[in-house]
Structure 1
Amino acid sequence: MIRMNENKDIKHERDNASEGLTIYRYDSPKKAADLQAAYKDAIAENDRKGASGSGAQRRKRTSSQTLLAAFLAGALTIGGLAYMSDRMNLFSGGTANVVQTSASTANPASADAGVKTASLQSSTEDFAAVFNQANPAVVEIGNYGVENNQSRSNLFGSSRGQSGSRQQSLPTNEEPVLMGTGSGFFFNKDGYILTNQHVVADASELKVTVPGYDEPLEAKVVNENEDLDLAVIKVETQDGKAFPTLGFGDSNQANIGDWVIAIGNPYGLDHTMTTGVLSAKERPITVAEDDGSEHKYEHLLQTDASINPGNSGGPLLNTKGEVIGVNTAVNAEAQGIGFAIPSSTIQDAVKEMMKGTTESSL
């Protein structure tokens, strides 16, 4: 048996570009033409020496010729097989093409850049698919009431783009005005919407802009949980059709560094998508209330996806299009620091708020 790394006709190489990768190549110095010429010269020499020899000598010469011919034929056969096996990458396990591809990349950094570009392209395509799937279920909520200058907190913003003020009771002789807007999403096909409590707080009227409807729909508050800053409101369908909904994912299974997607209406710019990563979990924040008291929120998700006034109440999605959080706060003095209530908290709270309704489950 020929051991490929010891045979002189086989050249053993190690490709420096792929450390640890062993390739065997056939590299015989004897060509078929050289062997044929040597064979003819050997026969001619034997003919000259044995022209006047005995019959025994002729038989010996014939035997020598036969052995030589067999040896040369065997050498040609083995050489041909070794050459073909090298061409077919039988000894390299199909790795020669891999090495060639690596060698064709002169700059290793370029190869890394190609991998990153492909990964980013794939992520971009995933984002677009998630947006197209989730967007019809995301709504804009208008809070109408009495205008005042109070603001709940710099964490929630005081812009007209987001509800956060405490409205007063509406005088009978005064028309309600738009105090701010927030976001929400359908979690039930019968028109139940989840949003932040501060988005609907003290509203005299709530108007919800739903994709596919020409006019905003009036909404009623079903239940509120001020401690968790969650609220459920409901609109009635005008055409008898079910509303598109979003399902909940498991925020406990989300990892720091995972891609996340926020959809909402920042500063009244409807159906805006932003992307980022999950920056932290179990984050506590403290909000100063209008009366000077403080309210602490715990177990929040932190993300660097852009969340601005008006995003409150909108969904924070994973790349599967599942809701893993409700966007609830942004630090007005920072960039890339937003917070969301995790789905692990939301689902239990929604079940409680839905008790007594015709639809008591998610």
Structure 2
Amino acid sequence: MKHNEKSLVSVALLIVVTVFFTVGLILGGGALSVEAAQNLEAASPNVFLGPDTIQTIVKQAGPAVVKIETETQIQNNDDPFLNNPFFRDFFGEQYKRKPGLTKALGSGFIISKDGYIVTNNHVVAGAEKIHAYLTNRKEPYAAKLIGSDEQLDLAILKIDAGDDLPSLEFGDSNKLEVGSWVIAIGNPYGLDHTVTVGVISAKGRPLSINGNQFTDLLQTDASINPGNSGGPLINLQGKVIGINTAINAQAQGIGFAIPSSTVTQVVDQLINEGKVIRPWLGIYMQPITKELANYFGLQETEGVLISAVAENSPAQKAGLKRGDIILEYNKKKMNDPDRLKKEVSNAKIGEKVVVLIYRDGKTIFVPIKIEAK
């Protein structure tokens, strides 16, 4: 592609990078720069992986996968990642963001016949214009951002393209087994509707990406590259069980996807409210170490210690105090703050839960009404 020296238009590789311990992770395979790139019928649960299985699923699912192009006006090069010498050396100076108009690419998929699209938040965050390309049309549709959540890295778009669009259904990621076959469809490096196949390598991966704490990601060896962000990860029933979100920047065959069980919990909120309304308990927690167990007189390292209670929170209203140890949440044993966070996040606003706490050598059942944060 030739550049006009006088033009303010510049193209950058919009890959958000972070490091988890010593491993570099690229969000979603990233939203890929344009220059750098140049409803299903459910099958039987017992799917036989025959010679035509993948082809059949791809033919059915492919039309519902969209290419997303965004336009963002960059005022100055203030990206905290690409300004960092480590990442600048990693990507090279040619990918440095410059003032002007930046175009980037990502993926998404249609979830309703009237044009609602799921993608990653980092694909569309800050975009002034969003366009969605469908397989049967060269010209893009203008897409409107309906709702987004930075913490979950999810966004919902809407296009006006009639009421009979191809769409994908969500499957249940909780039923996935490690080793299950999966199919990734997206636009890596701008190569429309690229299909890759792999397996679920692991479940429940906790990762810290760009300051966000993910506690339940799917890991897959299906090839995911820059531009795959927001694309579907599909099971052999042709249903979406994950949204491709991140790759390991220093290895091959290590990609991560947001499980469908997380997405389906918030899709309606994003469509109707434009944001995720989170249930709240209002406590700060830490795990019980052997030293803490001895200090509090516990026989083993069980429970989660409350290190602080937020003012006017559900926990404070219920009478929880700093120094209480939560042993159970709705009859489920709690030994990990992350697990308790997940349980609370799955609760409904207004739901009444019961926690078993240990205080002053005694156990007490405490009812709590979950509120919106």
TM-score normalized by the length of structure 2? 0.54
Map of 1:254 onto structure 2: 176
Q: Structure 1: how far apart are the matches of 2:159 and 2:183? A: 25
Q: With a CA cutoff of 8 Å and minimum separation of 6, indicate the structure with the bigger relative contact order.
A: 2
Alpha-carbon distance in 2 for matches of 1:195, 1:151: 23
In structure 2, stretches of 5+ residues that fail to align are 1-47, 275-373
> Contact 1:275 / 1:305 at 8 angstroms: preserved in 2?
yes
**Is contact 2:185–2:232 with CA below 8 Å preserved after alignment?**
yes
Give the distance between the partners of 2:156 and 2:182, measured in 1 at CA: 23
Q: Matched residues in 1 for 2:214 and 2:106: separation?
A: 19
Say which SS state the counterpart of residue 251 (structure 2) adopts. coil
Secondary structure in 1 aligned to 2:170?
coil
Count of aligned residue pairs for this structure pair: 218
Question: What fraction of aligned residue pairs are identical, expressed as a percent?
Answer: 49
Amino acid at match of 1:266: P
Distance 2:265 2:145 in 1: 18
Structure 1 residues 209, 265: closer, same or farther in 2, change over 3 A? Answer: same
CA-based RMSD of the aligned residues comes to 2.8
1:280 to 190, 202, 226: 202
Out of 61, 67, 92, the position equivalent to 1:140 is 67
Work out which of the residue numbers 134, 150, 159 in structure 1 matches 2:79. Answer: 150
Equivalent position to 1:235, from 144, 159, 164: 159
Q: Is the 8 A contact 1:278 1:301 kept in 2?
A: yes
State the alpha-carbon separation in 2 of the partners of residues 149 and 200 from structure 1. 18
CA contact (8 A) 2:231 2:243 kept: yes
Q: Secondary structure at the match of 1:280?
A: strand
Which amino acid in the other structure matches residue 150 of structure 2?
Answer: E
- What displacement does 1:152 show? 5.8
* Offset at residue 222 of structure 1 (A): 0.1
Instruction: String of CA shifts for 1:257-307, please: whole Å, max 9, x gaps.
Output: 01000000001000000000000000011123xxxxx22112000000000
* 1:193 Cα deviation after fit: 0.2
Secondary structure in 1 matching 2:212: strand
- How many Å separate the matches in 2 of 1:133 and 1:232? 22
Partner of 1:223: 147
Please name the residue that 1:350 is paired with.
Answer: 267
**What is the match of residue 343 of structure 2?**
none
Partner deviation per Cα, 1:108-140 (whole Å, 9 max, x = no partner): xxxxxxxxxxxxx94441111110000000000
Deviations 1:182-233 (A, max 9, x none): 0000001111000000000100110111111220111110000111000001
- Relative to structure 1, the CA distance from residue 347 to residue 269 in structure 2 (aligned partners, 3 Å threshold; closer, same or farther) is same
Which structure has the highest helix share of the two? Answer: 1
> Matched residues in 2 for 1:195 and 1:222: separation?
11
Q: Which amino acid aligns with 1:271?
A: H
Match of 1:34 in 2: none
Which residue of the partner structure matches residue 128 of structure 1? 55
1:112 aligned residue: none
Change (3 A) 1:273 1:307: same
Moved beyond 6 Å, runs of 4+: 164-168
Letter in 1 for 2:254: I
Determine the C-alpha separation between the residues in 2 that align with 1:218 and 1:331. 32
Larger strand percent: 2
- Distance in 1 (alpha carbons) for counterparts of 2:231 and 2:80: 20
**Compared CA separation, residues 232 and 165, structure 1 to 2 (3 A):** farther
